[in-house]
Structure formats: structure tokens, C-alpha cells
Amino acid sequence: MALRGNLKDFSLPDVFQLVQLSGKTGVLRIVRPDAEGSIWFRDGEVFFAQSNWRHELLGDRLVSAQRITPAALERALEMHKAEGGERRLGEILVSEGYITQHVLETFVQEQIQDTIFDIMRWDEGDFDFEVLPEVLHEDIGLSVSVENIVMEGSRRLDEWNRIKKKVPSADMVFKMATAPGEGTFEISLKPVEWNLLLLIDGTRSVRELAEEVRSTDFEVARVIYGLFSAGLLEVPSDEEVERLRAERAAREEKRARAATARAAREESPAPESETASSAPEVPEPEAHVPEETAVDKQPEEAPAGEGGHAAPEMPEFLSVGAEPPSDDDMAVFTEMMEAVLLPHDAAAAETLEEEPPATPEEPLDEVPQPGYGPETADETPVVPYAPTVEDAWDESALLAEMGIAQPPADDVQDQEPSAIVEEHQPPAEAEQYQPPAEAETYEMPAETGQYETPAMESDDVGFGAIPESDLAEIPAPPVAETEGPQFTPSGDFESDLRTLGLGEYPLELLEPEPVSESRPPMSEMEQAAAEAEDGSESDWAEFVQSISEEPAPVEQPPAEEAPVEQTPAEEGVAETAAPEGGSDQDLDSLLESLGSSTEKGAGVIASETDFGEGERTGEYISTDSYLAEFDTGGGLSGGLCDELIALTGGGTGRARPVTTVNAIPEPGEGGRLHIDQTVDKELLEQIIQGIEDL
Amino acid sequence: MQSVKVIVTGPFNAGKTTFIKAVSEITVLSTERQISDASGEGSGETTVAMDFGRITISDDVVLYLFGTPGQERFSFMWETLSEGMLGFVLIVDAEDEGSFEDAKAMIAFFKEMSDVPFVVAANKVPATDVKTLRRVRSAIALEDTVPLLPVDAREKESVKAVLLGLLYRILDSMD
């Protein structure tokens, strides 16, 4: 005798309990207009369930949980198809060794629960229980307690009712919040939440998201519920949704065109792009960027290419395969990934454990500082990689070694004054980025004299492309006239940049010297400062203070302070910025050439960047704790904290990694990231040499 | 084995992955993901988690390069990746003016979060193009105290120069 009825008259839990009490074996089919499902019983216990209503396939579940790879699933599906469905997919996966029987049972059980829960949410439909002597095909030996299913289903229904308060419809659209929720400093995300975040863009509805991730709308809705509660999501206006959808459609169209074009290019072999065609042969790890994408990215990454700047094809070192990462590399990579994936507290604890403390025997202060001060030669460590002085003097070779091409002489004529300043470098600074060479200068006073009076010795130390006419306009640095060997500022970064032809010349290096003995009249300084009308009042005050208080280092420069107060870079700039007897027009033209940068504070000696103050108390909360704060009781789940565990899959028994997410601190809060304290100057110099030798 | 970490960050599609690939001895490990519709325009893939490259300094010193995701929506990962770094390079595509605001935001973020030296590298800028550098510096409101270096992220030597620039700045900061 069949058991038939309607869900409006009998709820599924009632039917379940009836079948269980009778200990029947058979299949319960539930049919509604747009879907149907079936639940198999063996002696009153559920052992299988399936439906065609937005269900997540077993294979997809396994892939999502990274139990099998997509390739393995594809192969198993091919076998399943080739066998005509004789064996179920799970059996194939087990027999082929992709998963164990235990894993299969775990996932099938979860699938059964999800399916039954989905069916339990149906408000209408006809059910029909057919008694069968045995059901062999679907029986893989699982047995799920009806009580557990009813309890779990009821709990989920309770969750669903709660979720519906914030996600009332599967047609709702969410977008990423423009700012984290108030009071949110740290948010822990799980992979499923992360995956959804990637897709929540203000264009997809909850239902579309579920289809995109091949999950149920309940699963998606409860994740969205948590994200929305944590303030990570917002509900966009209808107008915004329309706009975002239009933008998305345009992007998709553009991407489709690009894909079509790329496919066309790949079909028609291009003999001229040898490097590009060889790139796919590079062995890449599984997680790498596909070679075709890497190659395609090159045109977008190409430099401007104007002015003779080479626009090379795929460089050899990129197209030729690098060595695969070693175990140590993978260990570091994994360690960092774990730092991202582990909960914050655990990650912080690991960091504390793993970070070696600063070695007390080698405090940074006691580390020799070669070339940074007037130490004696004995105090200055001789670094074995130090180039010879002669080598350092060869500016062209030096620049060539660094891969920086010297501009042609004609270019210099066309450049702005400040650009000329950058190009016209005192040759002595060419080796200033080589601390060991500077160390040697202390041992060779005769040569040191050359180094410290670069402008005076300009005839001896070629200026490369600088015309002599320009050189004549560049006065000698005033310090050089009165000072003997003051210092050779090893590692003077700004000077190094100038030597290498890199970067701009920082303003603070351009400006200090006008206050020296060749300082123009106050009215002209005001005129210079007037060009910085956009500068703040503090800048102006600083400017005024700088010109009123700063001593003239040229006249009475204490020898021991010279290395600190005036770098060679400043000297070099002073040549142009504040020439002896230099015309006001020179200064004005220089200031004008600085353009908008000058507006930030001409004549102001910029202070060091303030990177924040010390340690900041790491105040943060996690999503779970955040949500646990506002509701601690009620509901079948026994509190929102428990619910969150269920919401995030904690109740499945499967360990899931979480992603630690740290939020941006509030303005004014000090930095929390600090330099690696285990690195001292000696090690840093070793690293520098290693990079140079690369 | 002493390992040190340098972070390579910058706006979306600025060339961070290419930068690391240019100098890494190993095939760069990337946790890439095909750009979804939410990711906007640009190349076909973007860095969701991080890039990872290695430079062997000596038998007992290794420099690791970590690239951060460029999209602001992943900014919450920047801190995690940057913990214990030696310094960082912020790359900005000089030809992509639309990314300048993002670069400003990232600079502000790292300045707020960190006390480590950094340099900004203007990608796709010839070494002698001072005007472009000045334009970029102004556009991203970069302080004069922070070096702005030209770089071609595909060029190994160019990338080396930027790394050296950062290392010298770090060395300078140790005084």
C-alpha cells in the first residue's frame, strides 16, 4: 500500500517519522511543479536523497573542498559516461583512488542532509512513498538517522527564518561595502565566503550567485547573511545595480572580443613572435598564470617606448624557465599562506614564535657602519665585494652595470634645469653608493681629496654628456672650499639615485643651500616662497624658520658634523641652486622648473617622513565574535555563536581553513608593521651585493 | 638560513607580478585567479593572494619577494603579507592615470601602517624621462622624501636598480 499525500496536509517530518516507525524500505518521492526529489529509506533509516532543485553535485562538492582536482572529476565523469552509468560517480572516484570510502560517505551524507533540507523548505508538493523490497543501486551503505535529519532540518529552517530577515529574497543584490562596518578591525573569512566576495559585485542576485558557485541559495544566503551582518556588504540602489550591470555587460563584451581576437591569433601562427610562441613551453606550476595570459599581458605592460626607450619582446629570463621552487621556498610560501589563512590569533602567535628576537650580542647600534662617518680605517669593515676605486670612478661602466643608459648630450640641452641637476652629477658621488669604496677613501687621503671636491676636480672626472658651457654655470660647492676631507657619505641614497640617473631630485636637497652664504636677499626668498602659495601655513612657518635659524654651514662647518648636516647630494645641488654670486634668475628658473612640486613648499627643508608611532594595540574582532556579541541566546542553535559555526560549516566536522583579514586602522593610529629587526647593516650590505651580482 | 622579505605592492595591474618574475630565480608562485566581472578591466588574470619570488643572496641568505593583490578590495591582506618586511616597493603604472588615486591610497595605507622604508617605482617610464616622473610624483602626491624611480618591470636590470634603490634607502635609514 502506497503512502500518498500533500505537503500542505502532512509535513515531511511527519512522513519521515511514520516511515521510520514502520521500518519500511522504499523511496519517498516529492513532486512539485518545478522540481522533484526523492528520499530512499532502508528499514526506516535514510540512506540516500536527491533532487533536481538547485542541488550541488557530489563532484562539485569534492572539487570545492579540494578533495579532488577538476581534472580528476572530469576523468571520473568520462568513465561514468563510458560505463553507461553502471557505477555511480562516487564509486568510480573511490575505485580510482581519488578519495577514500570514508570521504565519500562524509560528502554523500552532507549531500543527503542538504537535499533533504531543501525539500523540507518546500511549502507545497505531493509525496508518494513506494515500498520496495530492496534498493541496491543507490545504497552505498550509509545510514542517516531520521531524528538527526529532522533536527538538522529544523535547525536550518530556524536559520533560514533568521537569514530571511536580512536576505528576504533570492533576487536580492549585494555589493561590497565601501568601508568596513563600524568597530570592525579584523574579520575572519572562510574560503566559501572568500569565493563569494569575489563574485559579489552589485550585479548578481543571490540566486545567480548560487548558480555561479554551484551551491544552494540557502548556503549562499547564509554566507551573505554573515558578511552583511559584519558590515562587509551593502545593498545597492536599483539605479546602481542597473549601472553596474551595464558596466559588467560592457566588460564581458570587451573580454569576449579580446578572447576572440586571442583565439584568432593563436589559430594563425605568427612567425615573428618567436619568444611568445615559445613561452608556453615553459614549465609552470599548476597554480601559475597560464602562459598565454602571461604573454598577452606583455603588450599592456610594455613601457611607453618613446624617446628611444626600448620595448623588448618577452625577455629571455622570463621566457626561459626559471628553476622550480625548492622545498625551502615552498615552506616559506606555505608559511606565508598559512599566515593569511590562519585565524589572526594563531597567526600572531606563530609569528611571535618564529620571529627570532634581536640578537643581543649584535645590537644594531654596535654594528660597524662603513663609510657613514669619519671612522678610522680600522673601524671600517672591509667588505670583500667592494669595487676598486678605479672601478668606481668609471661612471659609464658603473651606469652600464646598473643598466642605466646615459642620456645623449643633445638631450641635456632640452631638459629643464632641475633635470640637468639630476644629470650633472658630481662624479665623486658615483661611487658613494659603494660603501666599501668610501671606506677606502679614508685609507687614501690623496684620493679622498678628489672625492670631496668633485666640482673643483671636474676636469679630471668627466661629466659625461654635460657640455662645458653648462658646467661653467654650475658653481663649485661652497663647502668644498673650506672643508678638507669631511666625509664620504656611503649609502647616501639620494646621491646614488642621482648618480644612477634615477629618480627626481628631492626638493629638500634642492633648497637648503639658498640659506647659506650665498643666500639671496630676504625679499627674493619671499618671492620664491610666494610661488608656493598652495603650501600650508606650517610649511610657510617652517620655511621662515629655516631661513632665519639655519646657520650658514659654509662659513663655520664643524668638520665632525658635516657628514650629518650636509650630504654630498646637497652639495651637488647647491652648486646649481645656490651658486656663488649666482644670478637670481637662476634660482627663479630653477624654482619654476620644479612646477607643482615647488608649490608644496619652496625653500622648505622637508623633514623625515613620520611613519607612525610605536606599537598600536591590536584591537580587532572577528566575524564570529562580532556576531556573537549581539545575540547570545534563542533559537534551536542555542545562540548566534553556535549558529555562526553552523553558518560557516563548522558543524560538518570537516576542518576548514579560515582567512585572516586585517582591516585598515583608523586615521592617526600608529603603524603596526615594522621593519625586520633581524637585519643589520652588515646583512643588508650583503644583500645589496647579492642584488648587484644578480 | 636567513631569509628577508621585500613586499612588492601597487595598484591593480601595475606590473607587480612581472616585476617579481623579472628577478626571481624560481618560477614565481602566484595564487592567481581569472578575473571575475567584479575585478574590472585589465589583463586576463589578477593576483588574488600573492606572488612569491626568490633571490639567493648567499648560501645562508635568501631574499623573498612577495607581491600583494592590487585591488583595494583585498587591501585587508596587505598587512598580513607585509608583516616583518624589510621594506616595500610600490609600483605604479605611469601610463595608467586612473590608477594614481589607488596608488595614493596605498601609499597612505602603508605609511599609516608601517614604519619601514619604501620606494615608489613608476613602471613604463624610461630612465631619463624626468618630466614623467615629476608628473607621476605630483599626481600621486608623493612626498619629496620618498624616492620615485623609473622602472620597466620586464627588464631585469631595471628591476634590480629599483631593488637596490630600496635597499640603499633602508641602509640609509639605519643610520
Contact A507 B28 (CB under 8 A): no
Which residue of chain B has the CA closest to A335?
B81
Residue A479 has pLDDT above 90, yes or no: no
Nearest CB among A251, A304, A340 relative to B124 is that of A304
pLDDT band, residue A210 (cuts 50/70/90): confident
**Range in A100-114, A586-600, A621-635, B67-81 the model is least confident about:** A621-635
Contact B22 A318 (CB under 8 A): yes
CA A150 to chain B, closest CA, distance in angstroms equals 38
What are A364-413's pLDDT values in tens digits?
Answer: 343 333 333 333 333 334 333 333 333 333 444 444 444 444 444 444 34
**Range in A151-160, A356-365, A529-538, B56-65 the model is least confident about:** A356-365
- Provide φ and ψ at A619, rounded to 5°: -85, 120
Which residue of chain A has the CA closest to B139?
A596
Closest alpha carbon to A227 in A198, A264, A247? A198
pLDDT, residue A534, reads 44
pLDDT, residue B119, reads 93
Type of residue numbered A210: A
Nearest CB among A324, A405, A501 relative to B27 is that of A324
CA A602 to chain B, closest CA, distance in angstroms equals 11
State the DSSP string of B129-153. Answer: -HHHHHHHHHHTT--TTS-EEEE-T
Interface test with B, best of A173, A329, A592 (most B CBs within 10 A): A329
pLDDT, residue A137, reads 61
CA A492 to chain B, closest CA, distance in angstroms equals 6
CA A668 to chain B, closest CA, distance in angstroms equals 8
Interatomic CA distance for residues A152 and A110, integer angstroms:
11
**Range in A53-67, A150-164, A467-481, A621-635 the model is least confident about:** A621-635
Average pLDDT for A127-138: 74
DSSP one-letter code for A376: -
Cβ-Cβ contacts under 8 Å, B75 against chain A: 664
CA A446 to chain B, closest CA, distance in angstroms equals 26
Average pLDDT for A197-216: 82
Residue A28 has pLDDT above 80, yes or no: yes
Average pLDDT for A586-614: 39
**Which cell numbers hold the place of A70?**
577538476
pLDDT band, residue A176 (cuts 50/70/90): confident
Residue A346 has pLDDT above 80, yes or no: no
Cβ-Cβ contacts under 8 Å, B142 against chain A: none
Residue A426 has pLDDT above 80, yes or no: no
Ranges in chain B, pLDDT < 50: 33-44
Contact B61 A312 (CB under 8 A): no
Mention every residue, 6+ apart, whose C-beta is less than 8 A from residue A393. Answer: A427, A430, A431, A461
Average pLDDT for A114-124: 80
What residues pair up with A130 in beta bridges, in sequence order? Answer: A27
Which residue of chain B has the CA closest to A407?
B128
Residue A183 has pLDDT above 80, yes or no: no
Mean pLDDT of chain A: 58
Contact A612 B111 (CB under 8 A): yes
State the DSSP string of A356-371. Answer: PPPPTTS-GGGS--TT
Interface test with B, best of A189, A195, A296, A336 (most B CBs within 10 A): A336
Selection from A87-96, A493-502, B160-169 with the highest mean pLDDT: B160-169
pLDDT, residue B76, reads 62
Residue A127 has pLDDT above 80, yes or no: yes
Interatomic CA distance for residues A219 and A413, integer angstroms:
67
pLDDT, residue A285, reads 39
Nearest CB among B116, B137, B149 relative to A673 is that of B116
**Range in A55-69, A119-133, A439-453 the model is least confident about:** A439-453
Which residue of chain B has the CA closest to A500?
B161
Mention every residue, 6+ apart, whose C-beta is less than 8 A from residue A219. Answer: A56, A114, A192, A210
pLDDT, residue B74, reads 60
Interatomic CA distance for residues B4 and B26, integer angstroms:
16
What are A541-555's pLDDT values in tens digits?
Answer: 454 454 444 444 433
**Range in A193-197, A312-316, A503-507, B62-66 the model is least confident about:** A312-316
Residue A228 has pLDDT above 80, yes or no: yes
Which residue of chain B has the CA closest to A249?
B37
Q: Tell me how long chain A is.
A: 694
DSSP one-letter code for A290: P
Contact A307 B126 (CB under 8 A): yes
Residue A506 has pLDDT above 90, yes or no: no
Residue A234 has pLDDT above 80, yes or no: yes
pLDDT, residue B149, reads 92
pLDDT, residue A308, reads 37
Give CA separation, B76 vs A179, B69, B79, in Å: 11, 10, 6
In the block, cell 637648503 appears at A512
pLDDT, residue B67, reads 84
Cβ-Cβ contacts under 8 Å, A679 against chain B: 4, 86
Nearest CB among A364, A502, A506 relative to B161 is that of A502
Compare A527 and A416 and report the one with higher pLDDT: A527
Average pLDDT for A292-309: 37
Closest alpha carbon to A500 in A394, A435, A425, A575? A425
Residue A54 has pLDDT above 50, yes or no: yes
Contact A673 B82 (CB under 8 A): yes
pLDDT band, residue A140 (cuts 50/70/90): low
Residue A25 has pLDDT above 90, yes or no: no
pLDDT, residue A324, reads 73
Cβ-Cβ contacts under 8 Å, A684 against chain B: 86, 167, 170-171, 174
Residue A521 has pLDDT above 80, yes or no: no
pTM as predicted: 0.33
pLDDT > 70: what percent of chain A? 39
